[in-house]
Each structure stands twice: as C-alpha cells, then as structure tokens.
C-alpha cells in the first residue's frame, strides 16, 4: 500500500507525468486523497462510495490508481457523450501518464452499431418514405464497407435520424446471432470481442444494467469479467437500474415486429399470406391501444379512469399476438428470419401476459405497473419498487472491487440514502469537497415576496424577480425548471419582454443550444432535465443559475406514488427517506452547473422560499456548497458590480 501511495503521489506531483501532459494541471490534495482511497479499495477488493466535488478531477482520481495497479477494469458512466469523452480524452491521458501497455475498448449498446443484416433487409424491401432516406441507406452501405467500428456516431455525413435507426440497427430481440449470414463481419460482435480482450472497457450504465438484466434471465454474457468496476455519475444508477430490472413493452417494438413478419414472410414463406394479414391486425390492435390511452398519459395501470377502453384494447392486442404465435410456429422452420420472428412474438406475448395478469417473477417482488404515451407511441412498464435486491445480485455475480463515484451522492454529508437504494450497506464511504472558493465567488439569492409554489401567482411573481436579476446580470443565465409547463410559461413571458438572446429547450437539440449559449456570451437558456446535470459551461457566459422551485418529484408520477405507498407499508417516512433526499440530490446537480472552474463567479437564485422557511429547508442548505445567502436585491447588484 505504501508503494502504491508513493507512486500515486509521484504521478500527481507538480513535476509528474500528468503535469507535463495537461496544460492547466495543478496538484490538488483532494484528488490525490481520492486516488489513494480508490487504490486501497481496489487492493482489498472492497466497495467504495466516493463523492468528489466539482473541480477535484475525479475521472483521473480513479483512472490513475486503477491503471497504475495494472487491474482489469470496467468503467461505466452516465451517458454515451460522457463515455466518448472519457475514452477519447481522459483514458489516453491516464494511460500515457502511467506508461504501461494497456488495451482499452469502448463498448456501447447494440443500437449504436450498424447491423448489416437489417440494412440489407431494409434495402431489399425497397419501400422508402423519401428519396433522402433511400440515398442515406445507400451511403450507409458504402460506409459499412470502410468503417472499423460501425458506430453510427462515426458516420461522417450526418446524424442518422431516429426514424431510420431501427432500420439499420439490431435489437436483442431481432438479432440472429450465430444464424446471421453476416455474423463474421458483425460490428456488434466485433466490439464485444474487443471488449473481451481489453484491459479497460468503457461502457455506460444503460449497457451495464441491460447486461445484468440479460444475465438474470439466464442468457449469455456480453461484458467481460474484471477485477475492478468503476461506476461514475453513480447518482443516476437507482433510476436507470429500475428501468432495466423491470419490463417494458412498446408500441414501436410491436410495429417493428409486425413489419419484420411481413418482410420475412415474403422472403421465406411466400405462400403464407395469412401471416401478413395477421401482422396488419397486430399493427391495428396496437394503434387501437394507443388511441384508448390518450395523449400525455403517465398513469398506474390500476388507476386508469373507469371509462378507459385501454384494458379491453390491451386484451384484444394480447389475443392478436397469441394468434400470431400460433400462426408462426409451423412456419418458423422455413427460415432464420421467421424463426427469429416466432421467438420474438413468444417473448412479447409473455411480456404482455405478465403485464396484464402477473407472472412468476411478480410473486416475490414488488412492481408498479404503469403506462406512458410519448408522441404517437406508448410503453407498458413494470418497474421494481426497490432495486437493492437485483442490484446486489448483479454485484454478487461480478466479484472484485466496486467504486461508486459522483459529485452528488450525499445528503448532509450522509450516504445512507444512496447506499440503501442500491444495497451497498457494506461500502466504505468518503467525501472530498470541491476546491473552489464558493464563499468568495458565489452568492445565493432567495427573493422576497414570491408565493409558495403551490399558490396561484407563483410563476408570475418568480418571473418578475427573475427579470430583475437578468437585467443586472446582463443575461448569462440558465433558468432551470422542474416542469415543462413552467418552462413554457417562462418562454412566453421572456419573449414578450424581448429578452435576447433567448434559447429554449426544444427549439433545437440540446448540444446546439449549448453551443449557441457559449458563442453568444450573454444568452439566457431555459431548460428542464436535459440541462439540470452533465452540462459544463465555464467562464462568464454562465454567471447565473436560476431554479424556480425545490425539485421534489411530481406526486402524480406513478412510480413515485407507488414508492411512497410502499415506504408507508414498511412503516418508513416517504418524505424524509425518499422525496427529500431525491430532491436534495437534484438541487445539488442543478447548482453544480454554476461554478465550473477556479475563476468562475456566479449567482444562484432559488425562487422557492421554503428553502428558508420550512424545517426541511435546512437539509437542502446544509447539503449545498458554502455559498453566502441574501434576500436583498441590492446585494445582487453589488455582486455583479
């Protein structure tokens, strides 16, 4: 351990290899302390939960010790963008610094890789919505012969639109695996082989949880066995795990399946026209269910209105799926395509049956059955109320050390909320505060005279105060909202007041909005979840973060509602043990957008007086960085002057 600590000190030293490779490197004792804590956990095969405040350099704080100890590692992070950044920027730097031969691989979910089989089938079917789609598919085919990765993010011409992606990528359902005529050239299989051979594999939480969910079902392994698992942005895990340890059946899945039945019937069983008729019936029944659910639906299945036609429409859909299972069974031996459709149809039948009538797995687990409609689609979901059990089982199947890290894991310096959610009671925990000087460089302003968020007039009063602040700050602000409705009201008001440049979530893709925000230097950006975390804008372009209300989850959310009931049944306090800590973590994420570098200065505005007037407000305040507080607009003017 002593040797390892000395080596780490050398690597992070002023004259060390990181310093010579990183232009703005300066040694931070918090980063070295974090690296030592990670090394200790790795050497003793322990679980470590480590919170590293903004600016510590947590990525190198875990990469350097893991690589320096020569361990085989799996690094998982929150999004594909962070995954790319880690693989392309941080990992090569860390590998060069430790100066050891290390093979690294990047592995994404299969939906990111071009599938030769799907592309060829789509081209063969030959019916395209537009000429541009036909042209794009031809260019993808040419590119498929040149690319090494097959990762659609590397396609140089343009971003492949969402509606085209299912035509050229595979799903676990429709992949033919060894039966595929393109198996030896398959990009998904190639990426997985490279991951199996690598010393360090970079994945994202969605892929990791999907892998665990597959293994739980007894299917083959995708991710390699490693000595060390590092889960960055770990605060996102409970929510992501909930999605994967449950079940989802979507309208899109069914329409893809209907289309594939028709395609494969034409190719492999031209005389079985009744399959195409049934596929059309499937699409009709699925569309009927969508119609019965109505727009903007997000409800527990058991709480759908009495007069809803959705339960009957779902039963009708189940009957059509069953008829297709029966019809496909005798045709399946005629070709791999029909065989695959038969298996998929059986699987969706089992899922819908389980959703409507319950199944074996439901006997020993608590799930919430709920449904949501998004645009013209819908999803039927079974979500576990508690992910600690399956998460613990997943870790048990993957022995080695486990490092969970993020800038926001604790509430009032305590980790219980996070560790209980994931069943990590055995973990060591530690925190390293941000090295930034919040006392001098930041100010928290809670304006006077704004009603409680639940009262009439709240949003108007909040926007009055916000406009005053924007005049003083000269724009340069993120206005973050907890609901789309509030965001739309704000957009309307700010447009009427001619606030410019004004960037509103939904007007362009988030990356484009962020680029414009940085370029303009004096813009105001209105956003909800997409901008609440993972966004990094340094310098004066972002000098003010405004949050309308404390970010408690919506009580109308079916999963939250079911979890609240479940906590009550267990004699626990859902507000103190669930809603409050979740909201604290969200607020900390939003606040984390403000100060991104040692030179940054910024004003934090919270329009919700409960931060000061309610007893629980103290929990929020004591979980935030040490930012001075004011209710006086003159102090805001002073701060910017």
> Which positions from 248 to 287 touch ligand SF4 by CB under 6 A, shown as an x/- string?
----------------------------------------
Q: How far is residue 418's CA from residue 408's CA, in Å, rounded to a whole number?
A: 10
The C-alpha atoms of residue 559 and residue 298 are separated, in whole angstroms, by 10
Q: How many residues bind ligand SF4 (CB under 6 A)?
A: 14
Q: For residue 170, count other CB atoms closer than 10 A to its CB.
A: 22
Question: In the bound complex, what is the minimum distance in angstroms from residue 211's beta carbon to ligand SF4?
Answer: 16
Please give the Cα distance from 517 to 256 (Å, whole number). Answer: 38
Binding mask 332-371 toward ligand SF4 (x if CB under 6 A, else -) reads ----------------------------------------
In the complex, the smallest distance separating the C-beta of residue 135 from ligand SF4, rounded to whole angstroms, is 22
- Closest Cα to residue 238, out of 204, 205, 216? 205
Pick the closer one to ligand SF4 by CB: 182 or 575.
182
> Based on CB atoms, which residue is closest to ligand SF4, 257 or 545?
257
* DSSP track, 421-442: HHT-TT-EEEEE---S-HHHHE
Query: Is 143 one of the binding residues for ligand SF4 (CB under 6 A)?
Result: no
- Provide the strand spans (E) within 137-196: none
Task: Closer to ligand SF4 by CB, 48 or 140: give it.
Answer: 140
The residue among 175 and 470 lying less far from ligand SF4, judged by its C-beta, is 175
Shortest approach of ligand SF4 to residue 514 CB, angstroms? 33
Residue 188, interface with ligand SF4 (CB under 6 A)? yes
Please give the residues from 189 up to 208 whose contact with ligand SF4 meets the rule CB under 6 A: 189
The DSSP letter of residue 603 is E
Q: Which is nearer to ligand SF4, 116 or 235 (CB)?
A: 116
Question: Using the rule CB under 6 A, which residue among 86, 160, 186, 546 binds ligand SF4?
Answer: 186
User: What is the distance between the alpha carbons of residues 123 and 134, in angstroms, rounded to a whole number?
Assistant: 8
We find the least distance from the C-beta atom of residue 120 to ligand SF4, in angstroms, to be 9
Contact yes or no for 517/541 (Cβ under 8 A): yes
CB of 115: closest distance to ligand SF4 in angstroms?
3
CA atoms of 317 and 434, how far apart (whole Å): 54
Residue 222 within binding range of ligand SF4, rule CB under 6 A: no
- For residue 260, which of 339, 150, 197, 143 has the smallest C-alpha distance? 339
d(CA 585, CA 620) in angstroms, rounded, equals 9
Residues 429-488 that bind ligand SF4 (CB under 6 A): none
- Two structure tokens written together for 300: 């527990």
**How many angstroms separate the first and last alpha carbons of the chain?**
51
Minimal distance in Å, beta carbon 134 to ligand SF4? 21
Distance, CA of 641 to CA of 637 (rounded, Å): 6
Query: For the window 144-183, what string marks contact with ligand SF4 as x by the rule CB under 6 A?
Result: --------------------------x----xxx--x-xx
Distance CA 219, CA 212 (A): 10
Binding site for ligand SF4 (CB under 6 A): 115-118, 170, 175-177, 180, 182-183, 186, 188-189
């Amino acid at each position: 351990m002593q040797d390892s600590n000395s080596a780490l000190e050398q690597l992070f030293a002023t004259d060390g290899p990181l310093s010579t490779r990183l232009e703005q490197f300066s040694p931070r004792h918090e980063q070295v302390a974090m690296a030592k804590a990670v090394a200790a956990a790795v050497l003793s095969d322990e679980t470590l939960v480590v919170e590293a405040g903004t600016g510590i350099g947590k990525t190198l704080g875990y990469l350097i010790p893991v690589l320096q100890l020569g361990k085989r590692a799996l690094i998982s992070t929150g999004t594909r963008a962070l995954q790319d950044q880690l693989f392309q920027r941080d990992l090569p730097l860390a590998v060069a610094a430790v100066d050891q031969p290390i093979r690294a691989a990047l592995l994404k979910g299969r939906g990111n890789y071009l599938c030769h089989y799907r592309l060829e089938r789509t081209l063969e079917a030959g019916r395209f919505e537009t000429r541009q789609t036909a042209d794009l598919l031809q260019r993808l085919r040419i590119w498929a012969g040149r690319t090494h990765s097959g990762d659609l993010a590397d396609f140089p011409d343009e971003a492949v639109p969402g509606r085209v992606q299912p035509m050229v990528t595979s799903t676990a359902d429709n992949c033919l695996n060894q039966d595929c005529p393109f198996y030896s050239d398959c990009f998904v299989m190639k990426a997985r082989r490279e991951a199996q051979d690598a010393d360090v594999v970079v994945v994202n939480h969605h892929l990791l949880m999907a892998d665990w969910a597959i293994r739980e079902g007894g299917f083959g392994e995708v991710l390699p066995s490693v000595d060390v698992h590092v889960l960055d942005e770990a605060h996102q895990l409970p929510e992501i795990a909930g999605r994967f340890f449950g079940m989802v059946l979507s309208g899109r899945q069914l329409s893809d399946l209907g289309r594939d039945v028709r395609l494969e019937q034409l190719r492999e069983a031209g005389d079985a026209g009744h399959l195409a008729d049934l596929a059309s019936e499937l699409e009709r029944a699925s569309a009927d269910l969508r119609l019965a659910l109505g727009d903007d639906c997000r409800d527990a299945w058991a709480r759908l209105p009495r007069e809803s036609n959705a339960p009957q429409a779902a039963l009708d859909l189940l009957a059509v799926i069953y008829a297709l299972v029966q019809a496909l069974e005798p045709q399946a031996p005629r070709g791999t395509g029909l065989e695959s459709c038969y298996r998929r149809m059986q699987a969706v039948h089992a899922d819908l049956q389980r959703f409507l009538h319950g199944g074996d797995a439901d006997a020993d687990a608590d799930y919430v059955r709920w449904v949501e409609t998004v645009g013209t689609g819908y999803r039927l979901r079974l979500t576990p109320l508690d992910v600690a059990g399956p998460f613990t089982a997943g870790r048990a199947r993957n022995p080695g050390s486990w490092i969970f890290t993020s800038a926001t894991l604790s509430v009032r310096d305590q980790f219980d909320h996070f560790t209980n959610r994931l069943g990590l009671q055995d973990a060591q925990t530690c925190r390293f505060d941000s090295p930034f000087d919040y006392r001098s460089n930041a100010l928290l302003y809670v304006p006077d005279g704004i009603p409680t968020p639940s009262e009439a007039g709240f949003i108007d009063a909040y926007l009055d105060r916000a406009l005053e602040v924007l005049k003083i700050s000269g724009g340069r602000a993120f206005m973050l909202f907890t609901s789309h409705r509030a965001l739309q009201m704000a957009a309307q008001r700010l447009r009427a007041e001619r606030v410019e440049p004004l960037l509103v979530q939904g007007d362009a893709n988030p990356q484009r909005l962020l680029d414009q925000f940085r370029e303009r230097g004096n813009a105001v950006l209105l956003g909800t979840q997409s901008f609440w975390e993972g966004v990094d804008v340094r310098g004066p372009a972002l000098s003010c973060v405004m949050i309308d209300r404390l970010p408690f989850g919506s009580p109308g959310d079916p999963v939250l509602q079911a979890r609240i009931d479940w906590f009550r049944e267990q004699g626990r306090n859902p507000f103190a043990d669930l809603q409050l800590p979740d909201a604290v973590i969200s607020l900390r994420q939003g606040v984390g957008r403000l100060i991104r570098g040692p030179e940054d200065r910024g004003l934090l505005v919270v329009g919700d007086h409960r931060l000061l007037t309610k007893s629980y407000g103290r929990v929020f305040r004591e979980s935030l960085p040490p930012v001075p507080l004011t209710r006086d607009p003159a102090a805001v003017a002073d701060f910017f002057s």
